[in-house]
Amino acid sequence: MNISTEAGYDGLHDQPHAIVEREGVRYTLLGTAHVSRASVDAVEAALATGRYDTIAVELDAQRHRAMTDPDALAKLDLFQILREGKTGLVAGNLALAAYQRRLAEQLGVEPGAELKAAAVGAEARGLRLSLIDRDVGTTLKRAFAGLGFWGRTKLIAGLGASLLADDEVEAGEIEKLKQGDYLESSFGEFAAGSPPLYRAVIAERDVYMANRLRQVGAEGARDVLAVVGAGHLKGLEQHLRDDVAAPAPVLAELDAVPAGSNIPWFTILLVVFLFGGFAWGFWQGGAELGGELVLQWVLITGIGGALGCLAAGGHPLSILAAFISSPLTPLHPALASGTVSAAVEAWVRKPTYADFLRLRDDTGKLSGWWRNRVARVLVNFFLTSLGTAIGVWTAGANIIGKLG
């Protein structure tokens, strides 16, 4: 087993790349910038050589489908997304795509165009295509599992901020990112700020993709071109060269989502606090005080959820659903007022086929999240849930104040 980085290999001398030979398989790792015309050209030039029998790309099945199927977003099932609790995942993907799209508008290159070129080019040439990245949902779940409350809050805030950012990025700066120095430096700072996030989003995926490539080699490939982001190049090269553990167990471990506690402690404590407070109120102040505490809980939480839904531009029936459900859903660990309100919104204002087709473009601007009926359902979920959460803390403080 050896590694080579000789200049000029297959015309990639001016692109970040590494070549690893292992167990009779030659792996050419091409590092790219996901918004770069030069990266697209490099992929097309590599494909044109005709020497590769397998093309591997830094994509999972979901991202590949979204990138190559124009109707992928039109096939979304909103009610299934709400029911399965995938609202955050879908919204997060749209927020990240919106940020990448703004860069693409400045540079004239579609985000991930080099990955798409590799995937489409492989299929057009009858080459084997391997999707080597981990499922994005698993990556985000593992990242969230490793973060505390404030870490998750910062991550969500960062995704939200990406909707408002409008920074100019020069094409030359993007090209410099491909050399690795800038990316490695920024990742180093990133790791210092949030090691769990770095581990799940970067380090684990380096290991994952290296082991997927080893599987590809074991399945008969002999000359593999792997198109990956430049930030993964160094780590992927190291693991592909040095790792000796069997790939299957490693992949199984990295595909597993850490199980959280099956005991809904917050809900249990809230129920004990709430009904204990109500009982204390009835005991100390009779029906007048006890009834007042119950009424204030209902009004404060209900109004909080309703205001959140109103801020999301919800239909009057959605606002009513938010008001009714907000006092009750905090007492149920598997139900959120945002889910109820968003489901009513999707039912009353059914998104059209055109809404789904425009979803990717509309979410590129903040106003588009309210204009597009699909996106507005997602906004409804988040703002209603946020309003309810604020109402719960406010109502709880009110109960403590009344009984103090």
pLDDT in tens, 209-249: 999 999 999 999 999 999 998 888 999 999 999 999 999 99
| Residues across the chain | 404
Beta bridge partners, 30, equal 17, 227
- The answer to whether residues 379 and 312 touch, using CB atoms and an 8 Å cutoff, is yes
371 vs 83, higher pLDDT = 371
Average pLDDT of the residues of the chain: 81
Predicted local distance difference test score (pLDDT) of residue 258: 74
Residue 158 confidence (pLDDT) above 60: no
Residue 164 confidence (pLDDT) above 70: no
Predicted local distance difference test score (pLDDT) of residue 326: 95
Mean pLDDT for 351-368 is 77
Question: What one-letter code names the amino acid at 80?
Answer: Q
pLDDT in tens, 280-295: 989 988 898 889 999 9
Predicted local distance difference test score (pLDDT) of residue 72: 63
Structure tokens at 346: 């999707």
Rounded Cα gap, residues 386 and 304, in angstroms: 8
- The answer to whether residues 22 and 240 touch, using CB atoms and an 8 Å cutoff, is yes
Predicted local distance difference test score (pLDDT) of residue 118: 93
Rounded Cα gap, residues 303 and 323, in angstroms: 6
Helix 353-362 crosses helix 373-403 at what angle (to 10 degrees)? 70
Mean pLDDT for 328-337 is 87
- Ramachandran region of residue 126, left (φ > 0), alpha (ψ -120 to 50) or beta? left
Helix 230-242 crosses helix 204-218 at what angle (to 10 degrees)? 60
- The answer to whether residues 392 and 270 touch, using CB atoms and an 8 Å cutoff, is yes
Predicted local distance difference test score (pLDDT) of residue 137: 79
Mean pLDDT for 321-339 is 90
Predicted local distance difference test score (pLDDT) of residue 6: 42
Local confidence band at 197 (pLDDT 50, 70, 90 cut-offs): confident
Of 86, 27, 53, 23, the residue nearest 378 (C-alpha): 86
Mean pLDDT for 359-379 is 83
Predicted local distance difference test score (pLDDT) of residue 274: 92
Q: How many CA atoms lie within 13 A of 285 on its CB side?
A: 14
Local confidence band at 387 (pLDDT 50, 70, 90 cut-offs): very high
Predicted local distance difference test score (pLDDT) of residue 117: 92
351 vs 76, higher pLDDT = 351
What would you measure as the largest C-alpha separation in the chain, in angstroms? 86
- The answer to whether residues 398 and 281 touch, using CB atoms and an 8 Å cutoff, is no
Predicted local distance difference test score (pLDDT) of residue 186: 40
Mean pLDDT for 45-73 is 84
Predicted local distance difference test score (pLDDT) of residue 362: 79
363 vs 150, higher pLDDT = 363
Edge-first strand order for the sheet with 128-131 is 2-4, 17-22, 25-32, 223-229, 54-57, 128-131
Residue 311 confidence (pLDDT) above 80: yes
pLDDT in tens, 250-266: 999 999 987 665 667 78
Q: Range with the lowest mean pLDDT among 69-78, 135-144, 299-308?
A: 69-78
pLDDT in tens, 170-192: 555 555 544 443 334 444 444 44
- The answer to whether residues 389 and 326 touch, using CB atoms and an 8 Å cutoff, is no
Mean pLDDT for 162-174 is 53
Residue 205 confidence (pLDDT) above 50: yes
Structure tokens at 85: 């609790």
Beta bridge partners, 21, equal 2, 26
CB atoms near residue 96 (< 10 Å): 14
Rounded Cα gap, residues 272 and 102, in angstroms: 48
Residue 1 confidence (pLDDT) above 50: no
Predicted local distance difference test score (pLDDT) of residue 187: 40
Share of the chain above pLDDT 70, in %: 74
Rounded Cα gap, residues 321 and 109, in angstroms: 43
